[in-house]
Amino acid sequence: MNTDMNTAHEEGNVSDHMVELWLKQNEIQSLRSTLLDQLKTAGWSDKMIDRYNEYLKNVSVKNRRALRNQSSIVGGDQRAKTYEGEQLFRDLIEESEDMEIREFVNLEEAQIRTLEIVNSKTWKEQIFHGSEAAIGNIHVELKKTRGRPKSDMSMSYQSGLIRLSYEGLDEAVLLHELAHIAGNYRHDVAFRNTLVKLTSTFMGVRYAKLLKRCYKDVGLKMREHALIEPKPPSEWVEYFNRMKKARKARGYNGDNGEDESPPVAVAKKARRKKAAAKASQTKASRTKKKVSKKKTRAKAKSKSQ
């Protein structure tokens, strides 16, 4: 894997889906020379091979740009920034007079709320895409401290187990862990978007908007730059011919070496040319008037002397 991609992936700056696309694109790029040879054997013209090769290069450039944009997170570590954004979310709710985070009285209440969420239509159809082991097996336990402070962080596992700390017995922490169980095992963009959606559905739209704003305020991005999956030769040819037909219908036929502009472009060019000529005439006219005035003044001055 590319070093930059590997680093970004380890830090959680890039989702697993992006890595899969990146690897697939790199596979196509690494096999480019072999692929181009195969196209030549298949009867492709040198011109078409060059065009497809250029297309692959352009896809690679766009994907690298997307990766750079995705990785350029303020502060670098998305995990720490995610916690910072969620703490800001809590602080603002505490300061608010009409907002609050539901606290569970005991573990049983947390378990009941968990079942309500995971049995909902939204969870099953729109949110969950995690491990099969977690299906029908999502349950909550209290985290054993083993001598450590009770404020120790809550945790979740791909098996569907959620261990809440004694200080994490509230709905915000539960939704955070469920966002992981849903299939987002890193604190990346996909995780944040899932948590915002969970928050919107089970806490309210107002809370979701506040959480999203808090993430942005600490420098986190909420939009994942999707990588482009290169079209295989057969699909690319279909697309190319479709675009060629559309250009021809508009009056453009670059393949014949006659770079005929579409009628609309011709009309715009004519208007620009006419406007430029008019502007030039106006400028020349103003210049003549200025020269004429200067001459008149000079004559008047010489006579007075």
Q: What is the pLDDT of residues 92-139, one digit of tens each?
A: 999 999 999 999 999 999 999 999 999 999 999 889 988 888 888 899
CA-to-CA distance for 221 and 286, rounded, in angstroms?
55
**Angle in degrees, 0-180, between the axes of helices 46-71 and 16-30, rounded to the nearest 10:** 150
Token digits for 1? Answer: 């894997």
Per-residue pLDDT band at 35 (split at 50, 70, 90): confident
| % residues pLDDT > 90 (the chain) | 32
Q: Which of 12-26, 99-113, 250-264, 289-303 has the lowest mean pLDDT?
A: 250-264
Instruction: Tell me which residue has tokens 């011709």.
Output: 266
Residue 146's pLDDT is what?
61
On whether the CB atoms of residues 82 and 187 are closer than 8 A, the answer is yes
Residue 274's pLDDT is what?
80
- Residue 255, Cβ density class (10 Å: 0-12 exposed, 13-18 middle, ≥19 buried): exposed
Q: Is 71's pLDDT higher than 70?
A: no
Residues pairing with 258 in the sheet:
253
pLDDT digits (tens, 9 = 90+) for 211-270: 999 999 998 888 876 677 788 888 888 988 888 888 777 766 655 444 444 455 566 667
**What is the DSSP annotation of 180-239?**
HHTT--SSSHHHHHHHHHHHHHHT-HHHHHHHHHHHHHTT------PPPPPPPHHHHHHH
Most confident of 10-14, 17-21, 143-147, 246-250: 246-250
pLDDT digits (tens, 9 = 90+) for 175-224: 999 999 998 888 888 899 999 999 999 999 999 999 999 999 998 888 87
CA-to-CA distance for 51 and 203, rounded, in angstroms?
52
CA-to-CA distance for 88 and 207, rounded, in angstroms?
12
CA-to-CA distance for 40 and 38, rounded, in angstroms?
5
Token digits for 53? Answer: 């090769």
